[in-house]
Chains A and B, each alone.
Chain A
Amino acid sequence: MQLTKPPPPLFLDLLKNATVLVVDDYQGMRTMLRNVVKEMGIARVDTANSGKDALHLLSQGKYDLVLCDYNLGPGQNGQQVLEEARLNKYIGLACIWIMVSAEKSSEMVLGAVEVKPDDYLFKPINQAMLETRLQRLVTRKKVMAEIGAAVEEENYLKAIALCDQRLQEGNTQPQELLRIKSQLLMTIGAFDGAQAVFETVLKERNVPWARVGMGKVQFAARDYASARMTFESVLEENRMYMEAADWLARTLDAMGEGEQAQKILEDAARRSPNSAARQKSLAETAYRNGALDVAQAAFEKTIKVSEFSSHKNPAAFTGLAKVLSDQENPERALRVLDQSRKEFPNNPEAAIQMAAAESMVYKNMGDTAKAEAAMAVAEQVMSQLEGKVSAEVAMDMAKSYFKLDKKDRAAELLGNVIKNNHENIELSRQVEGIFEREQMGEAGQELIEKARQEVFGINNEGVRLANAGKFKEGVELLRKAVHELPTNQVIILNLAGLLIAQMSREGKDNAIAAEVRLLIDQAVRINAANKKIHEYSAVLDRLMKAA
C-alpha cells in the first residue's frame, strides 16, 4: 500500500513493454498474479495452468518475465519447467524467472538444483514486494547480460575478462562474480586460475561452492584422495549439498570403490530424487556392482524423471533392458527397447545402442541368430556414421560382441576407443574393466598399452617434425592420424597448433585458417574444457587480424 504515490520507478519503463507469463494451477492465484503485474503497467500478460501448457507458450520464445508457481499439481513442477525451458533455449539469458512458492525448501537453497531461477518469492505476495524484487533483478540482469552473451557464443575468454572488469567496478555482488569466473575457468580447463579464485574466497569465508570447487580441481589433477576428503567434509556440514555428493561418488568410482560410490548416490537420490543425471549414475554404478534391484529402480526413475524432458537419454533404456535381461525377464527387456525406439526415432547413436542391447537380450535367451542379426544392424548404422561414435556407444557394442564370443571385433572396437582417447585415464580404466569381466585382463592391458603407444608415437613424430621445421611432413602425418582417429582431441589440437605455427612462420593463409577453425570446432564438440582450444582460437583471431 502506498499512500503518497511515488513517481513510477525507472525500471518500470524497461518492463513496460515486457511480455509476461504467469504459471499457476490455481485459478485464484493466476488472476491475483496477473492483476499485480497489470497494476504495474505491464499490458501483455499470458497465463498457463500447467507445466505442459507453459512450455507450449514458452516455446514461442517471446517472454521477458516468467512468474511460475513451484507446485503445479500432477505433471512437471516449476523447477522442471524452468530446466526444460532453459535446455531448449525457449528463454534467453535476459529472461527473468521468478519461482513462487508457499515456503522455502532445502532443495531450493542448497546445491540440489543446477539450473536456478533468478529469485524465489514466497507467498503471500503483494505488489510492493514484487516491485522491489523486480527492480533488483532488472539491474542485476543488465550487469550480467554481457557476460551471459559471451558465454552463449562460447567466447569464454571474453566472459572471464568481463567478470574481471565488473569486479573492478565493484558494484555487483563480488562473490557471485567470482563464482561465475571460477566456473568459466573450470570450463576452459584453466584449473590453476580457478584454484586461485577458490583460495581467495576461502580465505575470507568457508563457503561450500568454493570448497567443492577445490575438490573438482583436485579431481582434475587426479588427486582423488584429497578430492574425496574435500567433498566428504562439505557433505558432513551440509548433507543437502548435492553437488558435493555427486562429485564424491564420481571420485570414489575413479578410486575403484564402486560400493561406496553406490552408497553415496543412494543417499543423495533419496534426498533429492528428481535429477535424471544422478539417477543414471546410481543405476550404472549399481549395475556394475551387480545390485540389479537398485539398478532397475534407478533406471526406471531416470526414465520417469526425464519423461517430459528433451534431456532423455537412450542409455537409460538400454541399461534398463540389460538389467531386466540379467534378471531373466527378457520379454520386458524387449518391450523396453521397443518403447525406446519410439522415443528416439532419428538418433543413429541411440539406434546402435539399442541394437547392441537387443543382441545381448537375445543371446541371454539363447537365440544366437537374432543376437547376430541385431549386431549386423548396429554395424550398418555405424558405417553410415563413418565410424564416428562416442566411446560409450563403442563400448556398448564391444560388450555385446564379447557376449557373442566375437572377441576380435570387440577388441578392435575397444582399441579404437583407446586410440581416440589415449590420454583419458578414466576411460582406459573402464575399458580395462570390460576386459577383466571377460577374464581377459592381461590381454586387455597389453592392447591398451599398445594402442596408447601407437598414438603417442604418431604424436611425438609430428611434434619432432615441426620442431625440425618440417611443417609439411608433420602436418601430413597428423592429418592422416586425425582422419583415422576423428575423436582424438589431443591429435586434433596438435594438428591445429602445428598449422598455426606454420602460418606464423610462413604468413597467413585463408585455407589453412579455415582448416584450423574446423579442427577447433571438432575439438569443442568432444570436450570444451580444454585450455588449448581457447588459446588457439585467440591466437588464430590475432593472426588473421594482423596486417
Chain B
Amino acid sequence: MNQDEVSFTDLIASSVHDMKNSLNVQIDTLENVATALHERGDGESAATLGAVIYQANRMNVDLIQLLSLYKLGNSLYPLDIAENSVAEMFDELLSQNGSAMELKGIRISTDCPDDCYWYFDRDLIMGVLLNALNNAYNYTKDEIRLVARINNGALELRVEDNGRGYPPSMLTDDLTAENKGVSFLSGSTGLGFYFSSRVARIHKNGERCGSLAIENGGTFGGGCFVVRIP
C-alpha cells in the first residue's frame, strides 16, 4: 500500500485513541496508589501524586477532546441530543474529580434543582465541563461551584471559582481559538475553548444555537465559565 494513502489525521486519531486507553490504565493505577498512601498516613506523598493525577487527567481530557473533534469533523460522531438530568451529570462529574480536588484542598459544591432536565449530548457537555473544571482547579484559591439554571428557554451551566479571575485580554465576546491566541509559547493551546465553543454551537433548538462565555464575578467574585444551551 502506498504510504501517501494513509491520512495523517487518521493516523493521529488512531494514535490518540490508543494513548487514551493507556492513560486510563495509568490513572486508575495511580489513584489506587494514592489511596493506599493516604490510608498509610503519608499525606504528603499522596498530595504529590494528586498533582500527577491532575496532570494525567488534563491529558486525558485533551485526548478525548481531540478525538471528539476528529469525529465531529468527519461526521463520525454519533451526536445524541437527548433529555438528561443535569443533577445526575453533576454527581458523576464530582465522583470522577472529587478526589483530585480534595487532595489539593479545594471545596467543590453544586447548585442545581433536582428536577432540572434538558436536551444535550451528555458526553460532549461532560467534556466541556471537565475542561472548565480543570481550568478552575488551576486558578482557584480553594473553592469551585457548579451551577445550573434554566434562563430564557436555555440551560445555563456555570463553573465558578474564587481565584483572581480571567485577565482582561481574554474577556472578549467572541470565544474562538483565533481570538484566544493559540500559542506553543504560553502553553495555551486553545483546544479547550475551541472544543467547548464547537460543542456549544452544535447544540441547536430551532433557530437558536448554544454559546460560550467567560466572565469574572459570580458567587465568589472569581472566574466564571458559562455555557448556554437552548
Contacts and interface: CB of A to CB of B under 8 A. Distances in A.
A171 interface: yes
A206 B206 contact: yes
Contact of A132 (B34, B82, B91): B91
Nearest to B119: A205
A1 B99 contact: yes
Contact of A2 (B24, B99, B205): B99
Q: Identify whether the interface residues of B are mostly helix, strand, loop, or mixed.
A: helix
B115 A171 contact: yes
A175 interface: yes
Q: Identify whether the interface residues of A are mostly helix, strand, loop, or mixed.
A: loop
A171 B96 CA distance: 25
Interface in B76-121: 78-80, 82-83, 85, 88, 91-92, 95-96, 98-99, 102-103, 114-115, 117, 119
Contact of B78 (A2, A104, A128, A135): A104
Nearest to B94: A132
A4 interface: yes
A14 interface: no
A124 B96 contact: no
Contacts of A240: 78
A126 interface: yes
Interface in B174-230: 205-206
Interface stretch (B25-33, B143-151, B161-169): B25-33
B58 interface: no
B18 interface: no
Nearest to A127: B95
B88 A126 contact: no
A240 B76 CA distance: 12
B123 interface: yes
B38 interface: yes
Contacts of A3: 35, 38, 99, 102-103
B80 A104 contact: yes
B118 to A, nearest CB: 10
A108 B92 CA distance: 21
B88 A136 contact: yes
Contacts of A205: 119, 205-206
A108 B122 CA distance: 14
Contacts of A207: 119
A172 to B, nearest CB: 9
Interface string A181-218: 00000000000000000000000011100000000000
A173 interface: yes
A174 interface: yes
Given A3-B38, A106-B78, A205-B119, A124 B95 contact: no
Nearest to B53: A1
Contact of B95 (A104, A123, A128, A171): A128
Nearest to A174: B117
Interface in A91-115: 104-106, 108-110
A170 interface: yes
A176 interface: yes
A131 interface: yes
B34 A176 contact: no
B115 A136 contact: no
Contacts of A174: 83, 117
Q: Which of A3, A106, A124 has the most CB of B within 10 A?
A: A3
Contacts of A105: 78
Contacts of A133: 92
Contacts of B79: 109
Contacts of A297: none
Q: Which of B21, B38, B92 has the most CB of A within 10 A?
A: B92
Contacts of B31: 1
Given A3-B99, A124-B21, A124-B25, 16 more contacts: A1-B99, A2-B35, A3-B103, A104-B123, A109-B78, A122-B123, A129-B92, A132-B88, A132-B91, A135-B91, A174-B83, A175-B83, A176-B83, A205-B119, A206-B205, A240-B78
Interface of A: 1-4, 104-106, 108-110, 122-124, 126, 128-129, 131-133, 135-136, 170-171, 173-176, 205-207, 240
25 contacts: A1-B31, A1-B32, A1-B34, A2-B35, A3-B99, A104-B80, A106-B78, A108-B78, A109-B80, A109-B82, A126-B28, A128-B96, A129-B95, A132-B92, A133-B92, A136-B85, A173-B85, A174-B83, A174-B117, A175-B117, A175-B119, A205-B205, A206-B206, A207-B119, A240-B78
